[in-house]
Amino acid sequence: MIRFFGCIALLFAATLAVGAPTNPDDKAVRKLPLAFCAAFNHHDGHELAKIMADDVDFVTVGAYWLHGRPDFEKYHTRMLNGRFAKIEMEPLHIVVRFLHPDIAIIHWSWTCVGDVNIDGTARRRRYGMMTMVAEKRNGAWLIAASQNDDADPTISPEMEGITPPIPIPGPGQGPK
């Protein structure tokens, strides 16, 4: 009987090890927000598009849904050479959860400064949250889907007593 339970425990442990993400994959996935910010800060839409899958679905902070790497690159090249030509973006917190050994969801908070509104007026420092779905394709981790959101600088009353996994700093929301 002890052998039976020992075999079951060994089989269970082996199953967990096979399904667990490897350390190199975890590191590679965590680098995606850093690569996003680096390309953003170099104002390089082509470099930014390199971390996107060919069939990426990307919802911008302005709620535009971009489908496919060509449209993603075109949009971001225009933004990074236009209203975002002086933007500086910084990742704040990165949380990764593997849904499958080759699929991960990344939630990360960010702050940026230096962009302007459509009318050319300066924007205040902004904070936000991006959710990315990363997929390992042909040995490389790429963004298959993503949604970017600006944070509201006020705390909604519905959040009372709720502590989000990633706090968003900003006016009324905690330390910067």
pLDDT tens digit sequence for 109-130: 999 999 999 999 999 999 999 9
Q: Give me the number of domains the chain comprises.
A: 1
For residue 173, being part of any structural domain is answered with no
125: phi > 0 → left, psi -120 to 50 → alpha, else beta; which?
A: beta
Alpha-carbon gap, residue 33 to 105, rounded angstroms: 12
pLDDT tens digit sequence for 73-86: 999 999 999 999 99
What integer is the mean pLDDT of 138-159?
Answer: 89
CB-based contact 143:73 (threshold 8 Å): no
For residue 3, being part of any structural domain is answered with no
For residue 55, being part of any structural domain is answered with yes
Q: State the burial class of residue 165 (Cβ atoms within 10 Å of its Cβ: 0-12, 13-18, 19+).
A: exposed
For 133, other C-beta atoms within 10 Å of its C-beta total 18
3-state secondary structure 57-79: EEECCCCCEEECHHHHHHHHHHH
For residue 6, being part of any structural domain is answered with no
pTM: 0.81
Lowest mean pLDDT among 13-17, 54-58, 90-94, 165-169: 13-17
Please determine, for residue 8, whether its predicted confidence score (pLDDT) is greater than 70. Answer: no
Q: How confident is the model at residue 168 (pLDDT cuts 50, 70, 90)?
A: confident
Q: What is the CATH number of the domain that holds 111?
A: 3.10.450.50
Alpha-carbon gap, residue 23 to 162, rounded angstroms: 31
User: In which element (H, E) is residue 96 found?
Assistant: strand 88-100
For residue 129, being part of any structural domain is answered with yes
Query: Can you give the residue range of the structural domain that contains 65?
Result: 22-152
